[in-house]
């Protein structure tokens, strides 16, 4: 099956883009050029998104804890808070920015993304549909695809992901990789179709081979299907990344054949999660809760983290995670 997937991927990429290594070098150059500019926030967050660079996440979200007055600063802080999953704080900033005369369309876009992340996609879909009819293109189609995915309207979401990909007109690989990743995780994780999801995740890696989350998700699919060696090969380039989910999966894969090695990797994953939770607790609450329900073996810790995550967003996944943590903690 992996060979077939690669063949499908090679035949169906939307268009040729800049080599991933060069694109990342260009991104770092832009970050250096705009270091003192608030616009650098988005560039740091882009680096964090694709490379699991958590120092970059801290830099990009630094405005989350800055005092803010005036519409522009409130919008900047709202975006930063949303980036680290402080959704309720971000919504409060948006309301204040609106009162201070912020652009209504900008406020809506940021608020819509937050409400989708909180499990309230149905609330914003009608307005996003109207925007897509009024101004068809990448921005409106990608937003609508994300909303449909959040509302579990998978066929509608898939159609809009395709529209968004077709509308892109850039040689930068990042937006292509992100759309393919979002489409792939929708099918694999939400809709339960790992084969279909894998095709899109492979496409994400074809655009950006350094994309940590895409590689990790494919390794998880391999591991779940019993393809242990394939999962280990997927993770090999990430072994030194320090990403706690990579370490946890490696530890789980190694725990049978080499328990000592597996135990060290799982302990390293726990240390890494705790360091990240100390810096950005809500950004990592859900993934850390999953870890402590599994390899981390601390259901009480998982229960607290899952509850904190649920307080910020009531998605189906967040509710299921909280239920699992409560049940595990009661045993």
Q: Would you say residue 315 lies in a domain?
A: yes
Which is nearest to 218 in space by CA: 249, 240, 264, 251? Answer: 249
Q: Would you say residue 310 lies in a domain?
A: yes
For residue 37, the model assigns a pLDDT of: 86
Which is nearest to 223 in space by CA: 215, 212, 232, 236? Answer: 232
- Name the domain count of the chain: 1
Half-sphere exposure of 168 (CA within 13 A, CB side): 22
Cβ atoms within 10 Å of 1's Cβ, excluding its own: 10
- Orientation of helix 194-207 relative to helix 212-224, angle to 10°: 150
Q: Would you say residue 111 lies in a domain?
A: no
Q: Would you say residue 304 lies in a domain?
A: yes
Are the C-beta atoms of 274 and 244 separated by less than 8 Å?
no
The structure's pTM equals 0.93
Are the C-beta atoms of 9 and 197 separated by less than 8 Å?
no
Report the alpha-carbon distance of residue 60 to residue 66 in Å, rounded. Answer: 12
Q: Would you say residue 247 lies in a domain?
A: yes
- Orientation of helix 71-83 relative to helix 87-99, angle to 10°: 170
Q: Please, what is the Cα angle at 133 between 127 and 137, to 5 degrees? A: 105
Tokens 């726990």 label which residue? 270
Alpha-carbon distances, residue 218 vs 183, 231, 285 (angstroms): 13, 8, 22
For residue 230, the model assigns a pLDDT of: 97
How many helices and strands in the chain, by DSSP H and E? 19, 0
Domain span holding position 316: 242-331
Report the alpha-carbon distance of residue 179 to residue 142 in Å, rounded. Answer: 8
Are the C-beta atoms of 90 and 251 separated by less than 8 Å?
no
Q: Would you say residue 219 lies in a domain?
A: no
Report the alpha-carbon distance of residue 287 to residue 305 in Å, rounded. Answer: 9
For residue 259, the model assigns a pLDDT of: 96
For residue 187, the model assigns a pLDDT of: 98
Residues of the chain with pLDDT under 70: 1-14, 329-331
For residue 301, the model assigns a pLDDT of: 97
For residue 10, the model assigns a pLDDT of: 44
Tokens 């655009």 label which residue? 207
Q: Would you say residue 70 lies in a domain?
A: no
Report the alpha-carbon distance of residue 213 to residue 177 in Å, rounded. Answer: 11
Report the alpha-carbon distance of residue 83 to residue 92 in Å, rounded. Answer: 15
Report the alpha-carbon distance of residue 260 to residue 255 in Å, rounded. Answer: 7
Q: Would you say residue 87 lies in a domain?
A: no
What's phi and psi for 105, nearest 5 deg? -65, -40
């Amino acid at each position: 099956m992996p060979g077939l997937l690669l063949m499908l991927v090679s035949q169906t990429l939307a268009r040729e883009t800049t080599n991933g290594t060069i694109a990342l070098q260009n991104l770092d150059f832009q970050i250096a050029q705009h270091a003192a500019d608030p616009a650098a926030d988005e560039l740091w967050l882009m680096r964090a998104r694709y490379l699991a660079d958590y120092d970059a996440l801290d830099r990009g979200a630094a405005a989350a804890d800055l005092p803010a007055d005036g519409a522009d600063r409130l919008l900047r802080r709202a975006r930063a808070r949303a980036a680290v999953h402080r959704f309720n704080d971000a919504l409060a900033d948006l309301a204040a920015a609106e009162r201070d005369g912020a652009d209504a369309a900008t406020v809506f876009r940021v608020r819509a993304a937050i409400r989708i992340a909180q499990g309230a996609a149905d609330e914003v879909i009608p307005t996003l549909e109207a925007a897509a009819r009024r101004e068809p293109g990448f921005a409106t189609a990608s937003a609508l695809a994300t909303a449909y995915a959040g509302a579990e309207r998978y066929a509608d979401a898939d159609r809009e992901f395709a529209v968004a990909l077709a509308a892109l007109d850039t040689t930068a690989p990042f937006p292509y990789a992100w759309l393919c990743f979002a489409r792939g995780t929708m099918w694999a994780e939400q809709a339960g179709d790992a084969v279909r999801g894998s095709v899109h995740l492979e496409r994400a890696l074809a655009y950006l081979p350094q994309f940590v989350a895409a590689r990790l998700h494919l390794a998880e699919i391999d591991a779940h299907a019993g393809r242990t060696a394939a999962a280990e090969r997927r993770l090999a380039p990430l072994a030194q990344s320090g990403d706690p989910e990579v370490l946890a999966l490696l530890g789980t894969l190694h725990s049978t054949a080499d328990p000592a090695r597996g135990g060290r990797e799982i302990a390293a994953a726990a240390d890494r999660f705790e360091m990240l939770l100390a810096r950005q607790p809500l950004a990592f609450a859900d993934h850390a809760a999953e870890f402590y329900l599994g390899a981390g073996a601390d259901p009480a810790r998982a229960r607290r983290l899952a509850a904190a995550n649920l307080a910020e967003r009531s998605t189906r996944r967040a509710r299921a995670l909280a239920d699992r943590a409560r049940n595990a903690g009661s045993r």
